[in-house]
Amino acid sequence: MNTKLIPIIGMEIHIEPNTKSKMFCACPQDHFGKAPNTQVCPICLGLPGALPFANYEGIAKTVKLGLALGSKISEFSKFYRKNYFYPDLPKGFQTSQLDSPFCVGGSLNGFAINHIHLEEDAGKLVHETIDGKKCSLVDFNRSGCALIELVTEPVFHDIPSVISFVKELQLVARYIDISGADMEKGSMRLEANISLSEEEKVKSGELPNYKVELKNINSFKFLEKAVSAEIKRQTEAIERGEVLVQETRGYDEVKQSTFSQRSKADAHDYRYFPEADLPPIELTKSQIANIKSQIPELPESKRKRFEEEYKLSKDFADILVSEKARSDYFEEAVKLGQGSSPSAKTVADLMINKKLDEQFPEPAGLVKKIVELTKVEYASTEEVENAVKSVLIENEKAVADYKGGNGNVIGFLIGMTQKKLQGKGSSQIVREKLLEGIQK
Amino acid sequence: MAKLSKADVEHVAGLAKLDLTETEINKFLPQLSQILEHVGELGKVDTTDLAPTSQTTGLTNVFREDEVKPSSIDLDGALSGTDNTFNGYFKVEAILTERTDK
Ligand SMILES: [Zn+2]
């Protein structure tokens, strides 16, 4: 085959928002490491007659993410029941959204987002062998937790773009304080939809008639390995002349290959219908404006500003901005240091290369340290006196001009002295010594 | 309204995780068809000037404050409906197939 195959990748990214309570009941949202089935109630256990009650914060955080990514916010939204059976889904349906998600469109790193919707999480399954018998254990602490799902368009054609997109999304979620987006704790989870197509078809916007869904990706490293293993598998299959089918696959880290998880009975037939227990949502312009006003400067514009305002290199700006607290620390230190010696570049350099921000929890401590460090480097009084002496001898004319009333000459003489001191003279002492020398 | 086929009944049963015998399928086929026909009567109503709705209460924006409140059910209560438990978990037969969703 001569035509070049290009990967077409779309991402589905789940983020658990950091609300206090679950999406439709008053149980705690934070379930990490809690004893099983201790954060449950009739609503999230799906007991008969329980009535769900929407948590406005969950909606606000979803809308906040949409606003940060330039999505259009739906003025009218509703929840749906997505029906399927699985032991971690006690009601037999998941409350989700369908035709009126809270956020439509938007983009990040130049990659188009299809929509962002809000749904509830399912419980957790643990697979165990008890008394020699294989069984599955169910914990419903996570059942009913608020869960934001962002779905991109199939716009990625290489793995690095996917990874930088997901990393940037993680950073944005942290900046706007909607989630810790911690992959290890499961508050951010990834799925990749992958297919391959010929270059010409991709250019004309034609999508292949299949896609393979890669599930349960729980780290950036895993994402890279799993996606590249799947691209390899599909490339080889197409080269062998096989026809690829729509399916769900997992990644086996040991074998470094993906395996099919599809079973015949898993046909997608969710029989969505509107959730009548949850009245529709009409967000007002003022509610949306209020949410928007809580969005701080986003990483992308902060990086640009750091490069322009503080003349930092792209690398330095990237590193500082990759942690909101660190970028705040940096700006605070620069502000405190204003007027005294440390330049923004020095502050950034000492933070990044010497990790001094770890030693000084408060920016003021760092600034004090920098002033101390730079003082040590100042030339001694004796060195200044020697430099002044030779400058005065070498620049007789300037000295005469000064004595003749041209006060501006002093700037030139300071400059000459600093040149001899390689810039290490304290400008105050240099001036003092020069004036002293001239008077003699 | 199109008549249901045997395959339709099998499909619906599959979604409900029901294993039906041949006799049951033959019994339910006309029953399900009848139900569909009955509901299909609604299709005769003229809805040209009606706005679609997903609910009947007329309510919008019913929200809850983001507050954690004590549950009316503790661990024992949560597990009280079954004898199949293990260390605070519900115990079910080994799940071999991965869910297709999420
Ligand atoms: Zn609950």
DSSP string, A263-288: -GGG------EE-TTS--EE--HHHH
What pLDDT was estimated at residue A374? 65
How remote is the CA of residue A31 from the centroid of ligand 1, in Å?
A: 12
- With cut-offs at 50, 70 and 90, classify the pLDDT of residue B82: very high
Residue B24 domain flag: yes
How far, in Å, CA of A27 to CA of B67, rounded? Answer: 8
User: Which CATH number do you get for residue B17?
Assistant: 1.10.20
Chain B hits for A94, CB-CB cut-off 8 Å, are 101-102
Residue B48 domain flag: no
DSSP string, B49-83: TPPP-S-SS-----EE-S-----S--HHHHHTT-S
Domains held by chain B: number: 1
Contact state of B72 with A87 under an 8 Å Cβ cutoff: no
How far, in Å, CA of A270 to CA of A17, rounded? Answer: 25
What pLDDT was estimated at residue A317? 95
How far, in Å, CA of A181 to CA of A173, rounded? Answer: 7
How far, in Å, CA of A125 to CA of B69, rounded? Answer: 25
Of A82, A266, A274, the CB nearest to B97: A266
Taking CA atoms, A240 is separated from A227, A235, A237, in Å, by: 20, 9, 5
DSSP string, A215-281: EEE-SHHHHHHHHHHHHHHHHHHHHTTPPP--EEEEEETTTTEEEE---GGG------EE-TTS--E
> Could you list which residues have their CB under 5 Å from ion ligand 1?
A 25, 27, 41, 43-44
DSSP type of residue A398: H
- Comparing CA positions, the residue from A15, A330, A285 lying closest to residue A170 is A15
What pLDDT was estimated at residue A264? 41
pLDDT tens, residue by residue, A261-286: 765 444 468 889 999 999 999 999 99
Residue B29, class by beta-carbon neighbours within 10 Å (0-12 exposed, 13-18 middle, 19+ buried)? middle
Most A CBs within 10 Å: which of B64, B72, B75, B96, as the mutation test of the A interface?
Answer: B64
Chain B residues interacting with chain A (CB cutoff of 8 angstroms): 11, 14-17, 54-57, 59-69, 71-75, 78-79, 86-95, 97-102
What is the domain range of residue B29?
Answer: 6-42
pLDDT tens, residue by residue, B42-69: 989 999 998 888 888 889 999 999 999 9
Contact state of B90 with A279 under an 8 Å Cβ cutoff: no
Of A87, A266, A282, the CB nearest to B92: A87
Residue B63 domain flag: no
Residue ranges per structural domain of chain A: 5-291, 297-374, 381-439
Quote the strand ranges of A284-357, DSSP E.
none
How far, in Å, CA of A236 to CA of A214, rounded? Answer: 18
Taking CA atoms, B26 is separated from A242, B13, B35, in Å, by: 40, 13, 15
Taking CA atoms, A410 is separated from A371, A402, A403, A415, in Å, by: 26, 7, 10, 9
Instruction: Give phi and psi for A400, each to the nearest 5.
Output: -65, -40
Residue B91 domain flag: no
In total, the C-beta contacts within 8 angstroms joining chain A to chain B are 151
% chain B with pLDDT above 90: 69
What pLDDT was estimated at residue B102? 43
Of B54, B55, B90, the CB nearest to A137: B90
CA B84 from centre of chain: 24
A 10 A CB-CB count for B65 gives 12
Low-confidence residues of chain A: pLDDT under 70: 1-2, 262-268, 338-342, 374-378
Residue B70 domain flag: no
Give the global pTM. 0.84
pLDDT tens, residue by residue, B20-45: 999 999 999 999 999 999 999 998 99
DSSP type of residue A90: T
Cβ A360 vs Cβ A366: under 8 Å = yes
Of A53, A134, A269, the CB nearest to B15: A269
Q: How far is the alpha carbon of B81 from chain A, nearest alpha carbon, in Å? A: 11
- CATH fold, domain A381-439, is Arc Repressor Mutant, subunit A (1.10.10)
What pLDDT was estimated at residue A265? 41
Of A20, A59, A281, the CB nearest to B67: A20
Contact state of A135 with B64 under an 8 Å Cβ cutoff: no
What pLDDT was estimated at residue A340? 57
What pLDDT was estimated at residue B99? 55
Q: What share of chain B is helix, strand, coil (3-state, %, to 5)?
A: 35, 10, 55
How remote is the CA of residue A40 from the centroid of ligand 1, in Å?
A: 4
